[in-house]
Structure 1
Amino acid sequence: MRDRLELSRKDLNTRRKERFMDKKANKYDIPKRDGSVWPDDICPAYTPREDAIPSIQGCWYCKYADFHLKEERALEVGICNWPKKIID
């Protein structure tokens, strides 16, 4: 199961990179609390997770975004849970 989870994350990261090339990220003036967020979206509340890639910022790597990363299948669109942290 862990291998499938890792594969799913790798697939989503690949899709995310492809989407980044095609789509301009949304920048918000305030957090989209309880709203849908795409991986490349960003706001002033962005706080990187421990495993975040420093050169890439976006909701995908934010502690407040819920993309179900600990589930068997991660979501392509997450939910902003600011100010409640989801992952450290």
Structure 2
Amino acid sequence: MADRLIEFYGTECVHCRNMDNSIERLEKELNVKVTRLEVWHNEENSRLMQKIDTDCGGVPFLYNEKTKKSLCGEQSFETLKKWALGK
């Protein structure tokens, strides 16, 4: 696995959609790519999330492969930025 920033989301998830602008802003400001994996309709992505997620149990769930840190639920841009930078 590469050192990816991953957002696990559900297609119909309102909280996930609410984060779309912050994710796009994060990608532009930090020049990073967030890999978005849909888990409600994709069994393979769902299994990957279940392997990684030890305490969230829902979406959006964000995981930083480099730092092994995760975020659970809808987050502010500042929190996303700190997570992406490993702070």
TM over 0.5: same fold? no
Bigger RCO (CA 8 Å, 6+ sep): 2
More strand by share: 2
TM-score, reference length from structure 1 = 0.31
TM-score, reference length from structure 2 = 0.31
